[in-house]
Structures are given as structure tokens and as C-alpha cells.
Chain A
């Protein structure tokens, strides 16, 4: 049960953002590239200096040690980075059920990261993130490099995880279908302002 609140959060040229995402809810974000979507997610994960405040269940970001904050507020960047050769070196307690949901087996842990495709890396990065059992998910185009079947698997996994753990999710996507399928609200960046977007 985790609720995420943004209070006058300011990134780059954007106007201060006030937003409340209740536990178990998902909002989607869209907007032209370079409008500050990634910057916003990075600020919420506390990876960039920023103005304004972010609260998790009523506790301010600055009151929680940074590594702990980032474990609880999990950020999945658009491009995943890996620091060891073997996939398995990036996982502490790999969960075979989650692996199977995305079409992998635990044997993939033995593979070399450099031989994976972008899409495989993206899906494995999601599994790596979920291994931390985050209470909030910040997803930056998590299905951008995936074929339809795999994109659906990822959406299903995120939806299951959200409902089971009652986590708040912010999802950046350009696909209208994803807005409708996954989120309760859809926000759009327009002229440096975050606007609630009505379903057409």
C-alpha cells in the first residue's frame, strides 16, 4: 500500500507539478521527446537535483536515505545498463515465476549480457528491478523495443504486480492503447504544463 505525492516538483523548464497517485493506481504520461518526462522520473527517483518535494506514504524523500529511497521507488530507464558480463551477476534472488511470465527461464542467468538483444535486456531489466520489490514503479517506455507478444507479457506482469502489491505506477508511453489498457488517468505535457487528458 503505497501512495506517491509530488508537491511543487520542478524539473527543467516545466511548471511546478502537483500530483497524487494513490496506492494501486497507474497514471500514464506522454508528450513530445525532450519535454521533460525522463527528467521528471529521474527527479522522483532522486537521481537529479530538483526543487519541490516527493512524498511516499506521507514521508518526505529527503528523510529516507537515498539508496533505500531508490529501492522503494523503482525506476526503469528507457535504456538498461549492465555492469557485469553475466546476467546472473545482476540478480540476488531471481524468482523463476517472474522469469517465466516474461518468457525466460532461470537458465538465462548464465548468459552473457553482451549477447542479448535490446528487447531481452529491457525485459530482464524489469525483472532485475522487481527483484527489489519496489513500492512505486517509474517506467520509461518499458515496451519500446518489444514485439506485441512480449509487450503484452510485460503489461500483464506490471498489472499483476501493481494489483497484488498495491503499488503506484507512473508509466511513460506513446501508445494510446497502453494509456487505455493500463492507467486510471492519462497526463500529457503541453506547453511546459502537465495536463490531465480526457479519454476520447
Chain B
């Protein structure tokens, strides 16, 4: 089976469905037609650009350009993590926690996959590196964002209990232990759900893509299992790092609870 090439005409048919939906929204006064059209346009532009960029990068296979692209991906992911927090860390730490935790988790898991499991040659071959890293970062970003949000919200809401424990001579790690555990659980719930539902309720996007591209279903399944395992490891590692670094930053060297290091929520 060969990959069926999509023509502009094919995409236009799908686009007309979106236009139809926008028309319906206008007719029913749902008020989302503008946002829908902008979102659809963004999808088209962003993905076409990505396709173009990847085409160039795949052709060159230059380690420096590839490195720059991964750095860009990391920064965008960290920005997203920061943006999803109700209460962020002030200053450098706002982005810093995300950059550090996702660099340590997503990059090392991707490296492990490239060097040990897939044994790609050269290891930085962009056809493998970029999509793998993208999947790690995209999922880890969600986990880290959920974990940090839970950590800081709960620390804020339960500040009286945390301080009560400090007053009684508990060290900071004991005082925030339960909040940390909850934060990690919160961060891991989406991937737990995804793994439990995989293949029964949902067919993961990558497997769908491989099957459409003509891979034997069993091969596609093996790849999907590999990816889900790697993604869960990356989320776990990333969330744990973020929670560790983040909760430590909520206390100072005299183990005082320093919620002044968080920003006030917008709204």
C-alpha cells in the first residue's frame, strides 16, 4: 500500500467543512465563527511552515540547525508551562523551572530512545529526533504545567497548615510532603488515562498516521507502545524535577514559606 498524496483539492473539501461550521455558528449566533476561522488558519499556516522547515532541516541534517530547532521547541514549551500557571514564580524562575525540568526529562529520554533503542545513525538524524522530541515535549509540557499549578495553588490555599507545621519544628520537606504528592499525581493523570484508553477507546494519533502511511498495523502498534512508555517516563521525570525544584523555591534558606516568590493570579 502506498501513501495517498493529498491534493490542494482534497484539503479544500475539508476546509469547506470548516467554513460550513463557521456559517452555522453565524446563523445560530454561537459567536465562535471568528475564533474558529482564526484557529483553522493558524493550523494551516503553522503546520505548512513546520513542513517547510522540516523539509529544509531534513535535507541539510546539520547538527547546529537541529540543535537550534530543539532549543526553540524547549523554550516554546516552557513558555506554555508558565502561561498555564495561575500563580507563577517571579522573575527568572517563571520560565526556568519549566526549561530545567523539561530539558532533563524530555531530552534525556529522547536521547536514550535514539542511541539505545532505535540506534539511529547519526543519532541526531532529524527524521527521528524532531518528531520524537516533539512528542516528549508536548506531553511533558502538560504534565509539568498541571503539576506546578497544583503545587502552587495548594501551597497558597494551605499556607496556614504549612506554616503551622514549620512553627512546630517540622522541616520544609515534611511540611509540604502531601502537597507535593498530590501535585505529582495530578501531573500523571492524563498519561495514565491515555495509556489505559489506548487502543480501546482511542487510537493514538501516531499509530493512525503510521497506518495511513502504509505500515503494518502490528508494527505501528509496537511503535505506539514504545512512544507511550517513553512519554510516561518523560512526564514522570519532568514533573518530579519541576515539583522538587519548584517546592524548594517556595522556601528560603531559613525554611520560611516564601509565597511572595509567586505572582498574583490574573483576573
B256 touches A49 (CB 8 A): yes
| Complex Cα spacing A65 to B163, Å | 16
B164 touches A81 (CB 8 A): yes
| Complex Cα spacing A80 to B164, Å | 7
Chain B 163-193 residues near chain A, CB threshold 8 A: 163-171, 178
A71 touches B168 (CB 8 A): yes
| Complex Cα spacing A47 to B257, Å | 7
B168 touches A128 (CB 8 A): yes
Any B CB within 8 A of the CB of A70: yes
A2 to chain B, nearest CB (A): 16
- Choose from B163, B169, B254, B257 the contact partner of A71 (Cβ within 8 Å): B169
Any B CB within 8 A of the CB of A191: no
Q: Classify chain A: how many residues form its interface, as a range.
A: 20 to 34
Nearest chain B residue, comparing its CB with the CB of A77: B167
- Known contacts: A81-B164, A82-B161. The answer to whether A48 contacts B171 by CB under 8 A is no
Any A CB within 8 A of the CB of B160: yes
> Which chain A residues border B165 with CB–CB below 8 Å?
83
B167 touches A75 (CB 8 A): yes
The count of residues in chain B whose C-beta lies closer than 8 Å to any C-beta of chain A is 18
> Which chain B residues border A49 with CB–CB below 8 Å?
252, 254, 256
A68 touches B169 (CB 8 A): yes
- Choose from B161, B163, B170, B257 the contact partner of A67 (Cβ within 8 Å): B170
B160 touches A129 (CB 8 A): no
Any A CB within 8 A of the CB of B255: yes
Any B CB within 8 A of the CB of A79: yes
A123-135 interface code vs B (CB 8 A; 1 in, 0 out): 0000011001000
Any B CB within 8 A of the CB of A136: no
B50-77 interface code vs A (CB 8 A; 1 in, 0 out): 0000000000000000000000000000
Chain A 26-85 residues near chain B, CB threshold 8 A: 45-49, 62, 66-68, 70-71, 74-75, 77, 79-83
A83 touches B164 (CB 8 A): yes
B161 touches A83 (CB 8 A): yes
| Complex Cα spacing A5 to B164, Å | 24
B254 touches A46 (CB 8 A): yes
A47 touches B167 (CB 8 A): yes
Chain A 125-152 residues near chain B, CB threshold 8 A: 128-129, 132
| Complex Cα spacing A59 to B257, Å | 24
B62 to chain A, nearest CB (A): 50
| Complex Cα spacing A128 to B164, Å | 11
A81 touches B168 (CB 8 A): no
A-B contact pairs, 24 of them (CB 8 A): A47-B166, A47-B257, A48-B256, A66-B166, A66-B254, A66-B256, A67-B166, A67-B169, A67-B170, A67-B255, A70-B166, A70-B167, A70-B168, A70-B169, A71-B169, A81-B160, A81-B161, A82-B161, A83-B158, A83-B161, A83-B165, A83-B178, A129-B168, A132-B168
Binding site for B on A (CB under 8 A): 45-49, 62, 66-68, 70-71, 74-75, 77, 79-83, 128-129, 132
Extra inter-chain contacts (16) besides given A48-B256, A77-B164, A132-B169, CB under 8 Å = A45-B167, A47-B163, A47-B257, A66-B166, A66-B255, A67-B171, A70-B166, A71-B168, A71-B169, A75-B167, A81-B161, A81-B164, A82-B164, A83-B161, A83-B178, A128-B168
